Structure 1
């Protein structure tokens, strides 16, 4: 796991967008794992801008989102399908048939979870998975005590998660669905490359636990320590509680892979 520390949220989002764009240019049929939430919004804005101004081409790629709420339709303004359409899919030249999210309105949710896992496998697996981190350390909706080998499944959302997501539902946690379908931790770890974006002081404590603490089901993001190619891009505020902060800076400054991005520091 590499931790890349940049001065602010804007530069952290810019680096993530540049990595995604670089991979897409090199591999037009890229299979992308997508994430939602406020942290990801500037990344998607940057990708849309690159498409409109530089011709970044999404026509051959496909996407699989981490999760979707159970019990709200795809056209609901708080669904993750609506989020992705509004922020990215409707603004670039991607075929909607190649964009995949779990169906939270499926009559048989267990079968839907199996179908989603099979669809990922049929696509050849996820090449690059984008993730954020919840305030309790979850990735996707893999809440504390989720199995680190779990696959796509239904999951009850904790009060903390519903509180964190309440702003999208008018500010009232009671309006947030109680359950969701999520890729499992094991599904995420199967991706060939994983990119986690974390910004803001409020994430500093949990980020330190996830990347420098023990691997634990209580902090499901800590499982990314097991991923063979995981990069964690953070701003200074999110990095403020890391014990090895100078080492992380040294690695970024000296790895040839990041030479072209040194101007961001």
Structure 2
């Protein structure tokens, strides 16, 4: 049986009231703090070693962390095992909210569902969760001055964050999912995965970069990526050539992939 850190927080989660998606996480969940950076525990530990693809975000935000805690609390109240609870948490809380809707739309648009032999990648969050590993390059929620971490300061240049990548993502994801494909969500995650490839930890061909980040803040880029907004109607903040180039490269890699 896996040695889950979750065991250390079982009683705390079970006895706590509902976790809010707007209130800060409780100090009892604080793992490390260095300057303005704080790292908190959240139950995102389960690794699906049979996964064919790995969806990689930057770090769980407050909303995802609270959703994970509440899902774990429900599992504990039902008397579930740690492994079953952590499996359910992955499906319930990973990329939750509008982010999940955008992510499914883009994954289907580039044909990931066809490669996996399923009607839609929406099923990766339900009946076909065995095909995917939901992950973050920084496993536990990271906050900077109390706000969600979005890539600054650089995780590769910040020892505390680089250490976090090594402690979990390398040892628990890369070393166990040696042939899976990695789909980075956003340029900061792409940069981190490319750094791992430069260190020979993963292969460059395993990285399927090119999709805009599924955040609602990226609505225009996502709409263009999906073909729902024409180029001549884009604001100056959106670079269509860069999106087109990334999508072409992504489609080539996906076309060459055989499950």
What TM-score does the superposition give when structure 2 sets the normalisation length? 0.27
Relative to total residues, which structure has the larger strand share, 1 or 2? 1
